[in-house]
Amino acid sequence: MAAEVAAPQKRFYRQRAHANPLADRGLRHPPRPQDMDWAELFPDFFPPAAPPGQPPPRVEFADLGCGYGGLLVALSPLFPGSLMLGLELRAKVAAFAGQRLRALRAARPGAFGNVAVLRGNAMKHLPHFFCKGQGLVYTVTDVPELHEWMVTHFGEHPLFEAVPPEELEADPVAALLATATEEGRKVQRAGRPVFPAVFRRCQDPDPGGAL
């Protein structure tokens, strides 16, 4: 019988909405992506008697600024075989998300083992966790100026291309962007619009070809 773990209460984890990304003393990160011990975060996916020669699983979802973990909790049962990591800079908010996952795992044994949350600074340390060229980039905000800034910079970057809206109609991740997080639901209740955009990482250009 699994031990009961209390779900966290937000009133004990209140923190300002923003944190100074330069004040990140005490944050831990691996020197290189290959040095990261993912087994510590996802023990169910790293059995001690893994078949020889089998490549270890990789984290396929990264929620940067994951907040209280709402999007990760929503995505976990949709992709139970995919590892997901949330990075959150605010200490109390990261602690809430971690406790939330522990409570969910205790309530539903065998579920949510593919999700973990770390306190981290994605602006500075993201390349320490992930190799180049992994996956799609999903963005969503209720600030039009920020949306325009992200669309402009991703659009002008030679290694990214915008994913057309028609390709996203069947994408369960895109459907959850504006509704799964606490912040997204707050925006909806206020009647404000949200602005999503998705970009795909292109292949590196041929180093021997023309620029």
| Structure-token pair, residue 195 | 């602005």
The whole model's pTM is what? 0.82
The predicted-structure confidence for 4-51, as pLDDT tens digits, reads as follows 788 777 666 666 666 666 666 678 889 999 999 999 999 999 988 777
Max mean pLDDT range (35-49, 76-90, 181-195): 76-90
What is the identity of the amino acid at 67? G
The mean pLDDT value for 63-70 works out to 92
* Other residues' Cβ atoms within 10 Å of the Cβ of residue 96: 24
- pLDDT of 17 reads 63
- pLDDT of 23 reads 65
Given a cut of 50, whether residue 203 has pLDDT beyond it is: yes
pLDDT band at residue 54 under the 50/70/90 scheme: confident
Given a cut of 50, whether residue 112 has pLDDT beyond it is: yes
Which ranges of 87-181 would DSSP assign to H, the alpha helix? Answer: 91-107, 122-129, 144-156, 165-168, 172-176
Domains of the chain (ranges, CATH numbers): 56-124 (3.40.50.150), 135-205 (3.40.50.150)
